[in-house]
Amino acid sequence: MRTRSFRITFLGLAMAASTALAVPPAATAAPVAPTALPTCTTWSTHFAAYTTDYVVHVPTLGRNTFNKSCALRYGAKNDAVKVLQRALRYCSGYSLSIDGQYGSNTRGAVLNLQQRMNASYNAGLQEDGEYGPATSDWVKFPVWTYPGNVMTNGCDHSPF
């Protein structure tokens, strides 16, 4: 009788332990959406490579902050868009009006630039028509005289 009681008790404890130790399936967390970059608001002025006689203007988050962790998207309307439009028109050959509005023509030019850079240089750019830090590395900007701020016929990449 004692053996039987022991077996029942042991089996009961084992079942209780297995129930207590059972781990519920892990809840799958919802994918975290990437944080959208703030909109570029204006530009920063940088000396062109290897000179202090010429500068380039690059879209940034704030005037002369040198913070290019920002983006320009469809619908944006500001001076940063004008800087980008000048770059696309005078250095990449796109027929754009420089009106400061990131509309379908500007988006199309940026998208085409991203596609060209990926096809020609395997740039790894996301082809979304948005201007952001990754795309800015592949855009050439007009070179301006310093001082005087007169646009030259030259183009250069952002020095930062």
Torsion angle of the four alpha carbons 96, 98, 100, 101, in this order, in degrees rounded to the nearest 10:
-30
Strands 54-60 and 151-157: unpaired
153: its two tokens:
């016929």
Higher pLDDT, 18 or 82: 82
Domains and CATH numbers, the chain: 42-157 (1.10.101.10)
Give the model's confidence band at 34: pLDDT under 50 very low, under 70 low, under 90 confident, else very high: low
Distances (CA, A) of 63 to 6, 37, 98, 134, 152: 81, 17, 19, 20, 22
Distance CA(24)–CA(71), nearest Å, equals 43
Distance CA(106)–CA(96), nearest Å, equals 7
101: its two tokens:
């509005």
The answer to whether 63 touches 44, Cβ cutoff 8 Å, is yes
Closest to 44 in 3D by CA, of 71, 66, 70, 77: 66
Out of 10-24, 35-49, 83-97, which region has the weakest mean confidence (pLDDT)?
A: 10-24
| pTM, entire model | 0.77
Residue 141 has pLDDT above 80, yes or no: yes
